[in-house]
Chain A
Amino acid sequence: AQTVTQSQPEMSVQEAETVTLSCTYDTSESDYYLFWYKQPPSRQMILVIRQEAYKQQNATENRFSVNFQKAAKSFSLKISDSQLGDAAMYFCAYRPPPQGGSEKLVFGKGTKLTVNP
């Protein structure tokens, strides 16, 4: 079974600094998807970034970028120029290739990020 591990239950960063959140996963598949979702106190789950395993290039979305190491099964999230609004729970998630709706997103336990002014 696929598993996702986030080894940092909590992290903190100073405003305007850079922080990296770690994620590792376990799978025997070669084609899959990886995601980072953000959950602020409002509890809404917000997609931050998505990476397809077949793409060697690391995904970026403005201040958010990933370091995808397929061989090491590692998928870390880097947040640059941290802002107060980045404070949230961050969840790493794995999804196998499409299988007619039977694929399920497997989440890590989350990392709580605090941004200090």
Chain B
Amino acid sequence: DTAVSQTPKYLVTQMGNDKSIKCEQNLGHDTMYWYKQDSKKFLKIMFSYNNKELIINETVPNRFSPKSPDKAHLNLHINSLELGDSAVYFCASSQTGTLNFGPGTRLTVT
């Protein structure tokens, strides 16, 4: 009964490919997020959704497109992957201000 789950946990792909990361939360939270953790461990918000509505889009290239089919799911699709996209991507959910993180997806672009 994992609270926030992500698939896959590891993703290795070549430049130019398109890939998706899926996220699901069973906490009943209204707000979900995508965070990116770079090679220096710095965490930065990419997107937030509140009840399926996009709220924050934080200067992220158009190649990144989040989609929230319902408030329990927030997926991240990335087009035309670049070397610089290699990072750990965390999904998170929140109801009272505290973020519950998923296990992260380590994306490696070769």
A residues neighboring B (CB under 8 Å): 33, 35, 37, 39, 42-45, 47, 50, 89, 91, 95, 98, 100-105, 107, 109-110
Q: Are A43 and B99 in contact (CB under 8 A)?
A: no
A82–chain B nearest beta-carbon distance, Å: 21
Name the interface residues of B2-20: CB closer than 8 Å to any CB of A.
none
**A107/B31 contact (C-beta < 8 A), A35-B98, A100-B50, A101-B49 known:** no
Query: B109 at the A/B interface (Cβ < 8 Å)?
Result: no
Measured between beta carbons, the chain A residues less than 8 angstroms from B61 are none
CA distance A104 to B48 in the complex (A): 8
B residues neighboring A (CB under 8 Å): 30-31, 33, 40-45, 48-51, 53, 55-56, 58, 88, 90, 92, 97-101, 103-104, 106
Classify the secondary structure of B's interface with A: strand
CA distance A20 to B75 in the complex (A): 38
Q: Are B42 and A101 in contact (CB under 8 A)?
A: no
B101–chain A nearest beta-carbon distance, Å: 4
Classify the secondary structure of A's interface with B: loop
Q: Are B101 and A101 in contact (CB under 8 A)?
A: no
Q: Are A47 and B42 in contact (CB under 8 A)?
A: no
CA distance A95 to B103 in the complex (A): 21
Q: Are B41 and A102 in contact (CB under 8 A)?
A: no
Q: Are B101 and A105 in contact (CB under 8 A)?
A: no
> Which of A37, A98, A101 has the most CB atoms of chain B within a 10 A radius of its CB?
A101
Measured between beta carbons, the chain A residues less than 8 angstroms from B104 are 43-45
Measured between beta carbons, the chain A residues less than 8 angstroms from B45 are 104-105
> Which of A37, A50, A104 has the most CB atoms of chain B within a 10 A radius of its CB?
A104
Chain B residue with Cβ nearest A102: B55
